[in-house]
Amino acid sequence: DCCLSSHCIEHQPDLIRHLNQVARILVPTGRYLLIIPDKRYCFDHFIPESSIADFINARGNRVHSAKSVIEHIALTTHNDPVRHWIGDHGVPKFRHDLTTVSSAMSAHDNSGGAYIDVHAWQFTPQSFRSGIEALSNLGLIGLDVEQVYSTPHNTFEFCAILKRRTSAG
């Protein structure tokens, strides 16, 4: 049995909770199959890669942080992977229009705690692998990395397979 996620994991306010929820519903030999945007080749290009500290800091979040909303609204760029692959990344939106930052702040502040759909996490295949391995080795999630694939040329997504942990801790 497996659970399939396509462009979903980057939207989870609490990555650790999400991964543990998936681990709980998988059968012992189950796999979590993921299709994940590679930040280098999509609109997330100018946003830094997410780190283990970011994942731990977000524990308990039910909605996205002001940081995630601002990054998604003001720091993103075009979403043409072919242009990114040839080195044309454009510029972050706020460079053209500084009001995107204040608009993002207002959107978050006026949300009343409601969910705003943005990317909370930015990954490359390597950063995804190292982040998941760290969470697993710390005993914070019940999944291990089975395989992480490279991003195919001129595309903006990579695939990964996670499996239920076979040992405690």
What's the token pair of residue 61?
A: 């979040």
pLDDT in tens, 109-162: 999 999 999 999 999 999 999 999 999 999 999 999 999 999 999 999 999 999
Q: How confident is the model at residue 166 (pLDDT cuts 50, 70, 90)?
A: confident
pLDDT at 50: 98
Ranking 32-36, 90-94, 138-142 by mean pLDDT, the lowest is 90-94
Q: Specify whether the CB–CB gap between 142 and 21 falls below 8 A.
A: no
Q: How confident is the model at residue 167 (pLDDT cuts 50, 70, 90)?
A: low
Q: Is 17 helix (H, G, I), strand (E, B) or coil?
A: helix
Q: Specify whether the CB–CB gap between 107 and 73 falls below 8 A.
A: yes
**pLDDT of residue 108 exceeding 50:** yes
**pLDDT of residue 168 exceeding 70:** no
**Would strands 31-37 and 143-148 be described as parallel, antiparallel, or unpaired?**
unpaired
Ranking 3-7, 49-53, 164-168 by mean pLDDT, the lowest is 164-168
The pTM score is 0.94
**pLDDT of residue 169 exceeding 50:** no
